[in-house]
Chain A
Amino acid sequence: GQNIDQPTEMTATEGAIVQINCTYQTSGFNGLFWYQQHAGEAPTFLSYNVLDGLEEKGRFSSFLSRSKGYSYLLLKELQMKDSASYLCAALDSNYQLIWGAGTKLIIKP
């Protein structure tokens, strides 16, 4: 079956760095997405990786290892507004998104 695993909740301190991991098992693979979702709002796109390696975009970076079925989202210089849920989603062979349950990130001052 298809499955996405990510931690349920993480806590970090303002100004610090946090890494949110995601492992996936899908029928085929056409890329991995990270979305940010604040409470009561729709998800917003953060990143898309289809090739191995690290992609940096400002304070956020995303890494992919296709051979390991593994990705992480790295958030630097954490700000209070980064408190949100972070959703990992893999695109399978039918180009359908398979969603993880999301990681709730709590930022403390």
Chain B
Amino acid sequence: GAVVSQHPSRVICKSGTSVKIECRSLDFQATTMFWYRQFPKQSLMLMATSNEGSKATYEQGVEKDKFLINHASLTLSTLTVTSAHPEDSSFYICSARAARAYNEQFFGPGTRLTVL
């Protein structure tokens, strides 16, 4: 299957700082990327869907000003957690999908964020 990378894999930051997470599709063009959050022992929660070159669509309850998503190219999307707080500590996972390839959604390895 296709490869999706995420960077960093782990990040620890102080409360109030901003953290940027990158998601890259390495061998295909990802017209759509998804950002998920997963708290311990819970299922994936979709935060937002981003299509290359357009604004992200956020799920209900997700603050767009706090979780900034940029999908400027067909191989890169970034999630910036602004003014992070301890309650933002979670496992953030991105996934990517090529145009019209609805049956193929590939996941990155995830980023473990810990906010002190």
Interface of A with B (CB < 8 Å)? Answer: 30-31, 33, 35, 40-45, 48, 50, 87, 91, 95-97, 99-102
Contact = CB atoms under 8 A, between A and B. Distances in A.
Main SS of the interface on chain B?
loop
A50 B103 CA distance: 9
B3 interface: no
Interface of B: 1, 34, 42-44, 46, 49, 91, 93, 102-110, 112
Nearest to B92: A42
Given A48-B103, A96-B49, A102-B43, 9 more contacts: A31-B103, A42-B109, A42-B110, A43-B107, A45-B1, A50-B103, A87-B43, A97-B46, A99-B44
Contacts of A43: 44, 93, 107
Contacts, number: 43
B110 to A, nearest CB: 4
Contacts of B107: 35, 42-45
B105 A101 contact: no
Given A87-B43, A99-B43, A101-B43, A45 B102 contact: no
Given A87-B44, A99-B44, A42 B103 contact: no
